[in-house]
Structure 1
Amino acid sequence: MAEREELLAAMWARIDGVTATGDLSAVLERGSQVEALHLIDRFTKAGNEGEFDLEVACALGWWYHVRSLVLPAQQAEHAREMAVVFLQGCFVAGMDRLPQPLLASIAESVYPHACDVLWRAYYAPILNASDLSELVTLWRRIVRAAPLGHPKRADWLAQLGTALEVRFRGTGELTDLDDSVEAQRAAVRATPQGHPDHSKHLALLANSLQLRFASTSHEQLADLDEAVEAYRAAVDASPGDASHLSALADALADRFQHTGRQADLNEALELHSSTIRTSPDSDPVRTATHMASGFRNLFRQTGNLENLNHAVEACRLAVRAAKDDPGLPLRLDALGEVLRERFTHTERMEDLDEAVEASRNAVRASPKGGHDYAGRLLVLGNTLRSRFTSTWESRDLQEALEAYRAALRVTPHDSPNHAMLLTELGDALSSGWVPEGDVQYVHEALSVWGDAVEAPTTLPLHRFRAACSSMFWTACIPDLGRAANFAERAVLMLPELAPRRLKRNDQQRALGSHGTTVTADAVALALAAPGGTAQERAVRALRLAEAGRSVLLSQALDTRSDLTDLHQEHPDLAQRFATLRELLDQDSAVTLSALGVGHAQIPVGGQRPQLVAELEALLGRIRSQEGFADFGLPPTSDDLLAEAALGPVVTFNVSGYRSDALLLTRAGISSVSLPKLTPDNVIERVNAFYQALDTSTAPDGDRIAAQKTLREILEWLWEHAAEPVLSALADLGEAVFPAKDGEPLQRVWLAPGGLLGLLPLHAAGFHTDPGDGPQRRTVLDRVISSYTPTIRALHHARTRRPRPTDQPQSLIVAMPTTPGHNPLRYVSEEVRRIRGLFHDPIQLIEVAQASDGTHHPRGMGAPSTATVLARLPECAIAHFACHGVSDRVDPSRSQLLLHDHATTPLTVSALAQVNLDHAQLAYLSACSTADPGNPKLLDESIHLTSAFQLAGFPHVVGTLWPINDRLAVEVAESFYTHLTTGPPGTLDPTQAATALHHTIRGLRDRYPATPSLWAAFLHSGA
């Protein structure tokens, strides 16, 4: 040992002398070579004995390095190579004293070994923390050894990113995932476009981003958006690579699952189809996997079971081909999933049995612990639970529960997947109550769901599901207090299910899929829960109704604040706010810029989150200005209570738990029970009502019987909805009974919500009763009714300040003929009668029947979407006489049929982009303009009437169902006649509700037995 130390000391003395003085002769002397030979001998002997003498290796490496600086070229190269050989072990061990000029070469020599260690770790059983740390440290050293511009720096950065990902999978440490993403980004930056590895590094970056999205808060879509764009760039950089095409398709499908963007799913399907057609046969595992994924997505889009059969066979092929492949567990997982999906459509138990075995094998083949292992256990649990609910074999439930619990044990508590697993475990526990009859299952499930609801890092959908499940089961126990609390949590999460960053149709899909009845149930449970006073329970219930209804409308109202004051005080902020609002309001169906209206550029795809973030930051700046603290914020409780000053607001609520009306009056907030207004009863009446409407206009229908059915339903509405409410309002001091001669009737605003919004509450009553005395049992004879989606929407309509003008301009849009549709024979007559009641109106009339040979109206032209949207900003009053169409699938596509309806329709979505300054009254003399459309979105009040109100019209006249063309002429003429306050053309839009009321009541008096003719018309707004 003493000799070793002496030799090392002598060697380092020579090396240090060289580095200090620059005199290289000390390492060239024969004595130096003798010392080196002795050290090499000792190093070799240590190696033969299984040891690695780092100090000797370091000294020899330095000695060779210094000699390489002075020896002739050929000998110098050999010395340099020997230096690298000796120093690579020191490099791996992390020794600090290494020659800087050799670091890159040493790193290159270590690189193959490091890659081998990395990929063995990637597929090996879980490593301990120290092993994983050594792996990451090694790769960090390799990257640090590469100077900027080094040809292998990008590859080394990518490998470092992978090493960090491996450590994350083993430890769950999220900072490693962040570092992995940054390393992969650096790798992409270090790789020139056109380089053979550019697409590979883009794909690795995308993979890290996807993993971080899955492992952190799903609310942050930026990672998934960036992953999609990285995969897209990888495809562009390597067009023939099927793996990149498939990965992009999977990322798009993943984004669709979390956002509901239909465009993502459509693109994913097209990419999968392309991959199936072009995937090479050289990699059977990859090819089969691409085919399985593509066929499965094609099935989901088309519903063709043959595609699902192909997906099953492709998955089986992938499993067979991957028999000895480290990716076997993934292929088994996919097989189990697709078999379980086929079972849901065929109910073949053989599929479910095979799926269970595939999932079990996937778990057995997976390394124990970590992110992927938990995922395999989750799939196994879901598959076993599917079989349990088909056979009620308790052993399947017990195995499923153990699978979920095992997955939870290896999933960090701060991972979003932890809460998702809790939700699945809770669902499994609750499913065990029915066959076992043991309420303990439910109590355990409630505990598990409670933890999931409180998890801040998880996807809102999982927290929402957990809250809804908890609400249902606590109500079953029953524990109505807890049920109400969970219901409230669920309602307050609805905006998170449909954030503003999504396009409108994607938001609708999210709400329609998950939030159909939760608001109604929450309102009912708030009223039923014990504790507090009746008024306190009513206040809570109304607050929930306001929070859970018209979620999309409320989001839009946030950005529809009046800009007049802001323009005067802070014009730059106002202008930017208006621009961002226009950008975010634009929709794929039709855009203002595409029509030549407006100038903002259209946001696409991934730009929306950035625009939303900028808008939120801008709102913060605006609210920091003096006098603008509440800019763009929802009205306060005091603001809502103030809305009762002009008359009561009645919010109806229909739920399986109970049904009620919430009354907002000058006396405060209260409720009245409506026990007969059950969901089943309302659904039965709605179906009967619309069947009778169809029969009332059918050539071979029993029209007398149909009208009798309509009257009976209006009478039922009176007895079980309207009369109890009016009586309760009277008890509160509201004048809801017929006034004395000459006194105006009380105004009442109705917010029906849900199923009740399909029935004409304003027309409830016994209209064929004889006489017109003070006790007549009809709403029409007691109050003047208006509708509003929510009290907040009413507040918005009342607080808008139309820009002052000397003479309000008016617009008449008329379509006597419509391309592709039946002519409206009486539209020309309607225009003839009303235009004299307007002051010099702008007229847009379909040319085919516009001219009568004696008059050429000012502004005559084809009523296209572009011309209408261009004219609306000038007008205070807009009258539309045309066909209207309610879309029962996508209510945002409901439209007024204009000249170019087939190419650029005037839809709800198009109107959502409009923000008008002069608007006061819109009259929609068209069919079904207040029909809420899709049954899953009834609470959202998405129809043309609400769209015009959002666009800026505080008063809108709409219709619940198709109206009579001839009678529409009389209604319009009477309405504007009642609206006239002086000479012709002096119309007062603020009296719209009263004018329509007198018009419809007069029509009712003429046709009391035929409600289909007059009950469709309604007033919405202020």
Structure 2
Amino acid sequence: MLLYHFEHVGDITDIDHSIRVLENALQLTPDGHPDKPSYLSTLGRALTYCFEHLSNITDIDNSIRVQENAVQVTSDSHCDKPHLLHNLSISLLHRFDHLSDITDMNKLISMLQDAVQLTPDGDPDKPVHLTSLGKTLWRHFECLGNITDIENSIKVQEDAVQLTPDGDPSKPGHLASLGNTLLCRFEHLGDITDIENSISVQENAVKLTPDSDPGKPGHLTRLGSTLFCCFEHLGNISDIDKSIRVQEDAMELTPHDDSGKPDDLSNLGNLLCCRFEHLGNITDIDNSIRMHMEAVKLTPDGNPSKPCCLSNLGNALARRFEHLGHITDIDHSIRVKENALRLTPDDDPNKPVYLSTLGSALTWCFERLGDITDINNSIRVKEDAVQLTPDGNPGKPGYLSNLGHSLLHCFERLGNITDIDNSIRVAEHAVQLTPDGSPDKPYCLSNLGGSLLSHFQHLGNITDLNSSIRVTEDAVKLTPDGHPSKAGYLTNLGGSLLYCFEHLGNITNQPIQLLFLLVTGSRHHISSVSNVPADLANHCPLGVVNGVADVH
């Protein structure tokens, strides 16, 4: 009764009293008593709750010990055994999250496998055990990278979905979990079928969840994130349009005073900003800024989400400045980003993101006003972002590439050869750290190509020009047809080829012939060159190419 009261009211005195009562009950209960496993398991739950509130490792150790005892004294044929195993796995997961001991992860996988095996298919708890096992296997994959884990995770979660009728209120949760795991496998292996299936099952989760269900906004938000991931990889504008629509639905279903409302507003603001970057519709960026301002307003300074809300607002303001050139926007962007940094401790995993994006805003300010202090500060904060990020972090290539971009601008303004050498060095590091299947790889390659081209323009080393052409061609090849960024990479490639033509004075090879036709002819002539991809011709602008498109 006391434990039940704690679960609903959260008074820590209830949990302390509950633990004492249960310990006394166990002392009075002989080992062979049929209720002893239940008392042990309940005591374990109480100790786990205590650990969640006080973070005393002794509590979770004792919780696991008494629950292991409950499991050991319960025969496999007993109907409560799967439930006891499942509860034990929850406590093991808490300790793993706290200590990161892989032994705990291996144990809880074993416990959940036993729970699944001991539960008949017709039991309503079977899908719950299967989904829990699937989530744990997914975590195991994230720890060790064994692809078998994520494949098994998907298999058992598919079983959970198949065993759960559509009318069961737990079905959307099983579908959402399966969708997340399919997305994870897509991000690691790049099989487009996985992300298509992820979207399909998450759409089903949304469809099966009534608007009155408090879990529906979460299902919508996850679906929106998956659609956006699909857009990032394939560049299909319809995906980001759908992502925005479902995020708007999530926001409408979330009460204004809900603690998750600022996150919903910020997510929608980010999506609108991204669509603006690709389509240039000023309404999108105005709405993005409005959403971010509302998110900031709803989030108190002491809230750990406040720096993220501020940084996102700064990003949107910087993008509008880049498009419209209003100095007030970039000044406002820099102020809110600096505020985000002041609220963020050095050990916060998001600090490098805030540093790097502040650096980008300072670079744009330098490009407009020419104040050398801005570009120096940009390089400084971007270097801090790189230094705070280990090589294995997926954000590191982006921070390196952004740093290279600022170093390139500094070189072009001051002519210090050290800056362009460092720009190439960090851009090469960014490329090395980025797998071919990553949607960021073309961006990193194109930035490297821009730095190499600038090095050639100032020093005249033909090796730099050839390398610039090679890496920019790779950026084009890795970018799907129809992707909004492909035209920019093609234009950068065209600029490098133009310099090659001007330097060598011949058009004997096909890329140079293509560029010559681009400068002097039409899309029809370009398309007539044999073996040239049609999409390359279609993206080539008419008229003379003057220089290289800016790399951002």
Q: C-alpha displacement at 1:410, in angstroms?
A: 4.8
Does residue 143 (structure 1) correspond to residue 112 (structure 2)? The answer is yes
Q: C-alpha displacement at 1:446, in angstroms?
A: 1.4
Does residue 652 (structure 1) correspond to residue 484 (structure 2)? The answer is no
Q: 1:433 aligns with which of 411, 414, 428?
A: 411
Q: What CA deviation, in whole Å up to 9, does each residue of 1:676-714 have, x standing for no partner? A: xxxxxxxxxxxxxxxxxxxxxxxxxxxxxxxxxxxxxxx
> Hey, what's the Cα distance between the residues in 1 that align with 2:311 and 2:147?
24
Aligned residue in 1 for 2:133: 157
Change (3 A) 1:279 1:211: same
Does residue 255 (structure 1) correspond to residue 233 (structure 2)? The answer is no
Contact preservation (8 Å) 2:449, 2:472: no
Contact preservation (8 Å) 2:420, 2:451: no
Change (3 A) 1:211 1:429: farther
Q: C-alpha displacement at 1:281, in angstroms?
A: 3.6
Contact preservation (8 Å) 2:490, 2:539: no
Q: 1:267 aligns with which of 219, 232, 242?
A: 242
> Hey, what's the Cα distance between the residues in 2 that align with 1:352 and 1:91?
54
> Hey, what's the Cα distance between the residues in 2 that align with 1:90 and 1:144?
23
Q: 1:199 aligns with which of 172, 187, 204?
A: 172
Does residue 244 (structure 1) correspond to residue 219 (structure 2)? The answer is yes
Q: 1:308 aligns with which of 261, 285, 307?
A: 285
> Hey, what's the Cα distance between the residues in 2 that align with 1:134 and 1:365?
36
Q: What CA deviation, in whole Å up to 9, does each residue of 1:172-224 have, x standing for no partner? A: x561898468546634532424332332343344445556766x57x665554
Q: Which amino acid aligns with 1:482?
A: T
Aligned residue in 1 for 2:10: none
Q: C-alpha displacement at 1:444, in angstroms?
A: 0.8
Q: Which amino acid aligns with 1:66?
A: G
Cα RMSD of the aligned pairs, angstroms, is: 4.6
> Hey, what's the Cα distance between the residues in 2 that align with 1:177 and 1:511?
31
Change (3 A) 1:237 1:411: farther
Contact preservation (8 Å) 1:164, 1:179: yes
Aligned residue in 1 for 2:262: 285
Contact preservation (8 Å) 2:131, 2:177: no
Q: C-alpha displacement at 1:428, in angstroms?
A: 1.3
Q: C-alpha displacement at 1:160, in angstroms?
A: 3.0
Contact preservation (8 Å) 1:452, 1:462: no
Change (3 A) 1:430 1:106: same
Contact preservation (8 Å) 2:223, 2:243: yes
> Hey, what's the Cα distance between the residues in 2 that align with 1:108 and 1:116?
13
Does residue 92 (structure 1) correspond to residue 49 (structure 2)? The answer is no
TM-score under structure 1 length normalisation: 0.40
Q: Report 1:500-511 matches (<5 A).
A: 506=482, 509-511=484-486
Aligned residue in 2 for 1:936: 541
> Hey, what's the Cα distance between the residues in 1 that align with 2:104 and 2:360?
35
Q: C-alpha displacement at 1:344, in angstroms?
A: 2.1
Q: Which amino acid aligns with 2:461?
A: L
Aligned residue in 2 for 1:233: 204
Q: C-alpha displacement at 1:423, in angstroms?
A: 1.5
Q: C-alpha displacement at 1:937, in angstroms?
A: 8.3
Change (3 A) 1:388 1:760: closer
More strand by share: 1
3-state SS in 2 of match to 1:652:
helix
Q: What CA deviation, in whole Å up to 9, does each residue of 1:573-624 have, x standing for no partner? A: xxxxxxxxxxxxxxxxxxxxxxxxxxxxxxxxxxxxxxxxxxxxxxxxxxxx
Q: What CA deviation, in whole Å up to 9, does each residue of 1:624-666 have, x standing for no partner? A: xxxxxxxxxxxxxxxxxxxxxxxxxxx7365xxxxxxxxxxxx
Change (3 A) 1:400 1:179: farther
Q: C-alpha displacement at 1:473, in angstroms?
A: 1.6
Aligned residue in 2 for 1:756: 520
Contact preservation (8 Å) 2:366, 2:375: yes
Change (3 A) 1:352 1:200: farther
> Hey, what's the Cα distance between the residues in 2 that align with 1:343 and 1:389?
11
> Hey, what's the Cα distance between the residues in 2 that align with 1:138 and 1:287?
37
Contact preservation (8 Å) 2:522, 2:542: no
Q: C-alpha displacement at 1:100, in angstroms?
A: 5.3
TM-score under structure 2 length normalisation: 0.70
Q: C-alpha displacement at 1:427, in angstroms?
A: 0.5
> Hey, what's the Cα distance between the residues in 1 that align with 2:144 and 2:347?
16
Q: C-alpha displacement at 1:789, in angstroms?
A: 0.7
> Hey, what's the Cα distance between the residues in 2 that align with 1:289 and 1:255?
20
Unmatched segments (≥5 aa) in structure 2: 1-15, 17-22, 46-60, 120-124, 545-552
Contact preservation (8 Å) 1:64, 1:83: no
Q: Which amino acid aligns with 1:244?
A: H
Contact preservation (8 Å) 1:181, 1:209: no
Q: Which amino acid aligns with 2:426?
A: V
Q: What CA deviation, in whole Å up to 9, does each residue of 1:490-537 have, x standing for no partner? A: 2541553344xxxx5x26x553231125156347538947xxxxxxx9
Aligned residue in 2 for 1:190: 160
Aligned residue in 1 for 2:447: 466
Q: Which amino acid aligns with 2:64?
A: V
Aligned residue in 2 for 1:789: 529
Change (3 A) 1:178 1:307: farther
Q: Which amino acid aligns with 2:319?
A: E
> Hey, what's the Cα distance between the residues in 2 that align with 1:247 and 1:760?
44
Q: Report 1:839-918 matches (<5 A).
A: none
> Hey, what's the Cα distance between the residues in 1 that align with 2:344 and 2:471?
36
Contact preservation (8 Å) 2:424, 2:452: no
Q: C-alpha displacement at 1:302, in angstroms?
A: 7.3
Change (3 A) 1:83 1:289: same
Q: What CA deviation, in whole Å up to 9, does each residue of 1:967-1011 have, x standing for no partner? A: xxxxxxxxxxxxxxxxxxxxxxxxxxxxxxxxxxxxxxxxxxxxx
Does residue 82 (structure 1) correspond to residue 39 (structure 2)? The answer is yes
Q: Which amino acid aligns with 1:157?
A: L
> Hey, what's the Cα distance between the residues in 1 that align with 2:292 and 2:406?
27
Aligned residue in 1 for 2:54: none
> Hey, what's the Cα distance between the residues in 2 that align with 1:329 and 1:210?
27
Q: Which amino acid aligns with 1:652?
A: Q
> Hey, what's the Cα distance between the residues in 1 that align with 2:351 and 2:149?
23
Aligned residue in 1 for 2:457: 476
Aligned residue in 2 for 1:575: none
Change (3 A) 1:476 1:277: same
> Hey, what's the Cα distance between the residues in 2 that align with 1:441 and 1:105?
62
Would you say how many aligned residue pairs link Structure 1 and Structure 2? 480
Contact preservation (8 Å) 2:446, 2:492: no
> Hey, what's the Cα distance between the residues in 2 that align with 1:221 and 1:232?
17
> Hey, what's the Cα distance between the residues in 1 that align with 2:135 and 2:414?
52
3-state SS in 1 of match to 2:513:
strand
Q: Which amino acid aligns with 1:292?
A: G
Greater RCO, CA 8 A, separation 6+: 1
Change (3 A) 1:80 1:246: closer
Q: Which amino acid aligns with 2:522?
A: L
> Hey, what's the Cα distance between the residues in 2 that align with 1:461 and 1:408?
20
Q: C-alpha displacement at 1:426, in angstroms?
A: 0.7
Contact preservation (8 Å) 1:471, 1:483: yes
> Hey, what's the Cα distance between the residues in 2 that align with 1:415 and 1:141?
30
Does residue 342 (structure 1) correspond to residue 316 (structure 2)? The answer is no
Does residue 512 (structure 1) correspond to residue 487 (structure 2)? The answer is yes
More helix by share: 2
Contact preservation (8 Å) 1:429, 1:442: yes
Does residue 352 (structure 1) correspond to residue 330 (structure 2)? The answer is yes
> Hey, what's the Cα distance between the residues in 2 that align with 1:143 and 1:526?
65
Change (3 A) 1:356 1:303: same
Unmatched segments (≥5 aa) in structure 1: 1-47, 49-56, 69-76, 122-126, 530-536, 550-650, 655-751, 762-785, 795-890, 893-931, 940-1022
> Hey, what's the Cα distance between the residues in 2 that align with 1:234 and 1:116?
27
Q: Report 1:335-734 matches (<5 A).
A: 335-363=313-341, 365=343, 372-413=350-391, 417-455=395-433, 457-458=435-436, 459=438, 460-493=441-474, 496-499=477-480, 506=482, 509-519=484-494, 521-522=496-497, 524-525=499-500, 528=503, 545-546=509-510, 652=513, 654=515
Q: Report 1:319-338 matches (<5 A).
A: 319-323=296-300, 324-338=302-316
